[in-house]
Amino acid sequence: MSRWKPDARRRLQDAALALYAERGFADTTAAAVAERAGLTERTFFRYFADKRDVLFGNEDQLREVFVGAVAASPAALTPLAATAAGLRALAVELQPRQDDQLRRARIIAAHPELRERELAKLASWSSALRETLGERGVGADSAALAGEVALAVFRVAFRRWTTQGADAELDELVQAALDELVGFVGRPPVGAPVEPAPPPR
């Protein structure tokens, strides 16, 4: 067994999802995950703090995809349109991993301590969006509200995605949920002037 494998991280994540689904999260050890991945336990702990951590290994990267797309969207976009760009970038990133995401969602739903961790993850995304909107000139209170609402929209779309089977496209479901949000809150007048965003600082 070589001591360094370029894909070790991903192999450990795949092995963990497979074993948690087969044997249950509680009955799987970090050592068993490493063995399934053809790696040593020591390698496991080089990448992850514990067996829970494996399920959240892409958290920072996904948050950057999300708020990176918001930050990179044209300054003239409304806060909602910029947020939508972020949510759709996240959707595009997750789409190829639908099977993994579904298995992951089932494991998390079954374990209170994992649900807590998942909520903390979503709260960190919400908070990152709040900061990014703040940098685009959105007031603190409005940005906080937007962060919560954006995550509510994403949760709804994500839940549909993991229950609608293999043909479901997450970015379409995100767009549909955003359309429902606009429908619920009220559609702006066609051609209404959009308040210009402040210049980037």
User: Which stretches of the chain bind a copy of itself, using CB under 8 A?
Assistant: 78-80, 112-113, 115-116, 119, 141-142, 144-146, 148-149, 151-153, 155-156, 160, 176-177, 180-189, 192
Taking the complex as a whole, the smallest distance from the CB of residue 52 to a copy of itself amounts, in Å, to 13
Q: Which is nearer to a copy of itself, 67 or 177 (CB)?
A: 177
Closest CA relative to residue 160, chosen from 146, 148, 172, 147: 172
Cα distance between residue 43 and residue 10, in whole Å? 12
Q: Which is nearer to a copy of itself, 18 or 81 (CB)?
A: 81
Taking the complex as a whole, the smallest distance from the CB of residue 40 to a copy of itself amounts, in Å, to 32
Taking the complex as a whole, the smallest distance from the CB of residue 68 to a copy of itself amounts, in Å, to 20
Closest CA relative to residue 66, chosen from 93, 97, 96: 93
Q: Do the Cβ atoms of 50 and 175 come closer than 8 Å?
A: no
Q: Which is nearer to a copy of itself, 166 or 190 (CB)?
A: 190
Taking the complex as a whole, the smallest distance from the CB of residue 79 to a copy of itself amounts, in Å, to 6
Cα separations in angstroms, 193 against 70, 76, 77, 189:
21, 11, 12, 9
